[in-house]
Amino acid sequence: MANILVIEDDDIMLKAIRNILGKDGYNLITAKDGKEAFEKLDGGEYDVVVTDLMMPYANGLEVVSRLRSDETKRNVGIIVISSVGNEETITEAFRLGADDYLKKPIMAGELLIRIRKLLANKNSKSQLVTKKK
């Protein structure tokens, strides 16, 4: 089953996302701030990372940037969930390499679909790679 890391500093949202994603049976790991997020990122492998932007210790953009600059984690799908709605921040997130940006309030169904899509893409890509080999 796919491993998903959810990084979110708001307790309510963290629990809610866990419940919603849990329905689809993913293997969920959570982090409630930037520091914990980095620890968990270093200590495990993930297929998708769902991250908030404004958190203690480190902001979500750092998480995105770190994932994208790491060879081994380049293929991890990244979804940013944030209440920040200004254009600059959103384009910044995409430029750094986020795959999706969901603005709060989010639709639970949308989050699920996006995760499924990212996972499907990833699988087809890795299949391509293996075929080429």
Query: Which residue ranges make up the site for other proteins (CB under 8 A)?
Result: 10, 12-13, 15-16, 19-20, 23, 34-35, 54-59, 61-62, 64-66, 83-89, 92, 95-96, 103-110
List beta partners, residue 124: none
The values of phi and psi at residue 44, to 5°, are -160, 175
Angle between helices 108-132 and 11-23 (to 10 degrees): 60
Residue 30 or residue 59: which is nearer to other proteins going by CB?
59
Residue 119 or residue 122: which is nearer to other proteins going by CB?
119
- Neighbouring residues of 80: CB distance < 8 A, sequence distance ≥ 6: 51, 52, 53, 60, 64, 93, 98, 100, 101, 102
List beta partners, residue 49: 5, 78
Residue 19 or residue 75: which is nearer to other proteins going by CB?
19
- Return the C-alpha torsion angle 70, 73, 79, 83, nearest 10: -30
Residue 68 or residue 122: which is nearer to other proteins going by CB?
68
Please, what is the minimum distance in Å from the beta carbon of residue 131 to other proteins? Answer: 34
Please, what is the minimum distance in Å from the beta carbon of residue 12 to other proteins? Answer: 5
Please, what is the minimum distance in Å from the beta carbon of residue 88 to other proteins? Answer: 8
Residue 1 or residue 107: which is nearer to other proteins going by CB?
107
Please, what is the minimum distance in Å from the beta carbon of residue 123 to other proteins? Answer: 23
Tokens found for residue 58: 């480190």
Please, what is the minimum distance in Å from the beta carbon of residue 5 to other proteins? Answer: 17
